[in-house]
Structure formats: structure tokens, C-alpha cells
């Protein structure tokens, strides 16, 4: 099955200069009508080695003193999409889609603005689990979402007025395995990752939409789909490097996986985790892939050979157990990393759930302070 991938990344990855990345989405501040959100960007080499620390943030309810925290006191998050200097985050259980914007490090967080809300069935792991912006978002303001309803999982398109229209319906729903993901790989091609609905047999069944990667041409109401990849477990994420690699994360009973899908539909294994740390959102650049770990409470950073696309060394863990369970990741236009936590699904702290904006490290290693 040949996948036609169009467009180029707006910013390239300098190997070793950035260890934190975002899930490839769209930067609506770019000039072209179809521009994927920047993936990795090197840190500014002329930046001063040290800068004076700003005064502490004012204290108060839902004001996290950590300067990288942008939004707090959210319900359990679902999808996360970078939009240049802001981001969209979905609350999985409420169906709300919120815009979150950074402020000064010494200022309190500004409550995110609700821009849309969709009806969802949040039982089990269902709800709203991913977002994608229309390739022409600057012109049409359309948002695509993967949601769970009372009868199925489906892809919907949300207009600026908040009205949701069905794009792809009939994806099996189960007590678990309802998480899905979305990724545009050209102006007219949307990839959809579906979970196995808690039934691994459905993932290999040709007649089922569960446990698959589907391609939807010209996504509009009533659009059809074709299967690109089968045999997936509980859905993780899709992330495109802007060139020739589409990375897929999922969880099976035996292991968590990172797989690579090529333009020609060839599938290869990137890495597996037999200890099942809970792979979730992912982000890709030409030489690295970052995977949010829910159970391990960290980001796994996998170095990719730019020629062979192989991952030959154990992915390193970044920001381990600093912000709890991580679900979504997305890139900002300045090379920073948006991260959303999912602590409200388990044991949460006083500021959860949160959206963070983590600056890229100055060098080739380490984690943010």
C-alpha cells in the first residue's frame, strides 16, 4: 500500500541538540497552506549560559509555581496539538477543547479558553483522545477529533461554531482499547489509528476497523477509508517526521511497541518494551522520536539513524517522574515541547492535570531544570 506524503517540516532536527520533541501537527502561523508543525529545533547557540531567575509566581489555587507549567487543574487530558505559540488540549472525559497560552514566568497561569465541546462517552478509556488541525486551519478553522460515543469510536470534524460532523464512523468500541490518534500526512490524506477495543482478534480481522491504521482520502462527511496497517493493540499515537517515516505506538499484551511505516506501506520494528511502560503520544524528527510514557512517567527519547532509520540503542528516559503520567506531546514553533499529563486517571496532585511547555536543553543531553 503506497502512502503519498507531501510537504516538508518547517524546522529540522540537529542530532543531539534537542532531546525533547512534539507530536507532528500543524503550525497555523506558517505562511503555506499546508505546513506541519515544527518538530525538533536546535537550541539557540548564542543564548546566554545563565540568566537571572524571575521572581516567583504569585501563590493561589491552581497556580503551579513551576515556571514551565502553562495550564493547571484540567480534567484528564486527551489530545494535544501545537499551534505555534499556543496549543490546543482536549479533556478526555468532558469533551472540552481548550486553547492554552504561555505567560511570563513570574505571572500566574491564565485559565485556558474553551473553544469547542463535543459529546463523548468517557467510560473506560474512551472520550476524546486525539486532535488534528485541518491542513488549511488558518482559513477554515476546522478541528478533527477522535471520539468515543455511546455506540462506537469515530472521527468528527468540528467547525469554528462548535458543530461536529461525522467523518468516519463504526470503529468498534469496547470496555478498553478505545484510544485513537489522527495525523495528516498531506493536504488530502488523514491517517487514523484505532485501538483493538479490548479484543485482539479484531485487530487481525479484515472486516473490522479495530486495531488498524486507516487512510482517509479528502476527509469529509461520508468519507471512506482503507487499511494501511493491521494488528495493533491498544492505541498509542501516530507521528510523522515530515519526510518518509510515520511512527506508530501501541500497547499489546506482550509488549509496548514503536513501529515505522514507510511511504510504500512497509512496516518495521523501531523498538519494543517488554516491561510495558505505557507508550502514549509520540513525536518525530528526522533523527529522533520521543514517546510519552504513562506508566513510566517519563519521555523516552529514541535516536534514529538518518539513513537506515534504525534505532540501535536503548531509548533514554527524560524528565523521569517529574510531572507524573505523561500522555500527549506536541512541538511549539520555537522548538520547545508541549506536554500534557494524565494524572487524573490515577493518583493526582493539587495542580493536575497540567499542560507544560518545556524549553529545549542547551546541549546534547540532560533534562530541563
Q: Which residue has the higher pLDDT, 189 or 365?
A: 189
pLDDT at 269 over 70: yes
Task: Give the pLDDT of residue 356.
Answer: 93
**141 exposed, middle or buried (CB, 10 Å; 0-12, 13-18, 19+)?**
middle
What is the C-alpha separation between 16 and 365, in angstroms, rounded? 7
Per residue in 200-215, pLDDT (tens digit) is 999 999 999 999 999 9
What is the C-alpha separation between 266 and 223, in angstroms, rounded? 25
Place of cell 540532560: 366
Per residue in 337-366, pLDDT (tens digit) is 889 999 997 777 889 999 999 876 333 333
Task: Give the pLDDT of residue 15.
Answer: 26
Predicted confidence band of residue 33 (pLDDT cuts 50, 70, 90):
very low
Half-sphere exposure of 330 (CA within 13 A, CB side): 32
Give the C-alpha distances (Å, rounded to integers) separating 272 from 139, 231, 251, 263, 288. Answer: 40, 15, 10, 22, 16
pLDDT at 1 over 70: no
Residues 6+ apart with CB under 8 A from 327: 77, 78, 80, 280, 281, 292, 294, 340, 341, 342
Mean pLDDT of the chain: 83
Task: Give the pLDDT of residue 209.
Answer: 98
Residues 6+ apart with CB under 8 A from 342: 76, 77, 92, 280, 294, 325, 326, 327, 353
Backbone Cα Rg of the chain = 19
Other Cβ atoms less than 10 A from the Cβ of 159: the count is 13
pLDDT at 330 over 80: yes
Query: Phi and psi (nearest 5°) for 160?
Result: -60, -30
Task: Give the pLDDT of residue 101.
Answer: 87
Q: What is the pTM of this model?
A: 0.84
Other Cβ atoms less than 10 A from the Cβ of 43: the count is 17
Residues 6+ apart with CB under 8 A from 309: 244, 245, 260, 268
Mean pLDDT in residue range 232-237:
93
Q: Pick the most confident of 63-67, 68-72, 227-231, 365-369.
A: 227-231
Mean pLDDT in residue range 45-58:
52
Task: Give the pLDDT of residue 112.
Answer: 92
Listed in order, strand segments (DSSP E) in 134-224 are 143-148, 153-158, 164-171, 181-186, 189-193, 213-217
Q: What is the DSSP letter of 343?
A: G
Task: Give the pLDDT of residue 108.
Answer: 66
Task: Give the pLDDT of residue 103.
Answer: 76
Quickly list DSSP for 9-54.
-SSPPPTTT--------B-TTSSSSS-BPP------TTS-S--PPP
Mean pLDDT in residue range 84-105:
90
Q: Which domains does the chain have, with CATH numbers?
A: 69-358 (2.120.10.30)
User: Using an 8 Å Cβ cutoff, are 23 and 246 in contact?
Assistant: no
Amino acid at each position: 500500500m503506497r502512502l503519498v506524503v507531501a510537504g516538508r517540516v518547517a524546522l529540522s532536527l540537529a542530532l543531539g541538540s534537542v532531546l525533547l520533541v512534539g507530536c507532528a501537527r500543524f503550525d497555523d502561523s506558517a505562511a503555506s497552506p499546508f505546513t506541519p508543525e515544527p518538530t525538533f529545533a536546535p537550541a539557540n547557540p548564542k543564548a546566554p549560559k545563565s540568566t537571572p531567575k524571575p521572581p516567583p509566581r504569585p501563590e493561589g489555587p491552581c497556580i503551579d509555581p513551576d515556571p514551565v507549567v502553562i495550564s493547571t487543574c484540567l480534567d484528564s487530558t486527551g489530545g494535544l496539538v501545537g499551534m505555534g505559540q499556543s496549543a490546543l488540549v482536549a479533556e478526555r472525559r468532558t469533551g472540552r477543547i481548550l486553547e492554552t497560552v504561555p505567560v511570563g514566568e513570574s505571572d500566574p497561569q491564565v485559565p485556558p479558553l474553551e473553544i469547542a465541546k463535543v459529546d463523548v462517552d468517557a467510560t473506560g478509556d474512551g472520550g476524546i483522545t486525539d486532535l488534528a488541525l485541518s491542513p488549511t486551519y488558518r482559513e477554515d478553522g476546522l478541528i478533527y477529533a477522535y471520539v468515543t460515543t455511546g455506540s462506537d469510536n469515530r472521527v468528527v470534524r468540528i467547525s469554528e461554531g462548535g458543530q461536529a460532523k461525522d467523518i468516519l464512523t463504526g470503529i468498534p468500541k469496547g470496555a478498553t482499547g478505545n484510544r485513537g490518534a489522527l495525523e495528516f500526512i498531506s493536504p488530502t490524506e488523514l491517517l487514523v489509528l484505532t485501538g483493538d477495543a479490548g479484543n485482539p482478534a479484531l485487530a487481525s480481522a479484515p472486516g473490522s476497523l479495530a486495531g488498524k491504521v486507516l487512510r482517509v482520502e479528502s476527509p469529509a462527511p461520508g468519507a471512506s477509508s482503507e487499511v494501511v496497517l493491521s494488528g495493533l493493540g491498544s492505541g498509542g499515537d501516530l507521528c510523522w517526521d515530515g519526510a518518509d517515516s510515520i511512527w506508530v505506538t501501541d500497547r499489546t499484551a506482550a509488549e509496548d511497541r514503536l513501529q515505522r511505516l514507510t511511504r510504500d506501506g512497509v512496516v518495521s520494528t523501531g523498538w519494543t518494551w517488554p516491561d510495558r511502560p505505557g507508550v502514549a503520544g509520540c513525536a518525530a524528527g528526522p533523527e529522533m522520536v520521543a514517546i510519552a510514557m504513562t506508566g513510566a512517567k517519563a519521555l523516552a527519547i529514541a535516536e534514529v539513524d538518518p539513513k537506515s532509520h534504525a534505532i540501535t540503542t536503548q531509548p533514554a528516559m527524560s524528565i523521569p517522574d517529574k510531572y507524573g503520567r505523561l500522555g500527549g506531546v506536541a512541538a511549539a514553533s520555537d522548538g520547545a515541547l508541549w506536554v500534557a499529563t494524565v494524572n487524573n486517571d490515577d493518583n493526582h496532585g493539587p495542580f493536575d492535570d497540567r499542560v507544560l511547555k518545556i524549553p529545549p536543553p542547551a546541549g546534547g543531553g540532560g533534562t530541563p531544570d
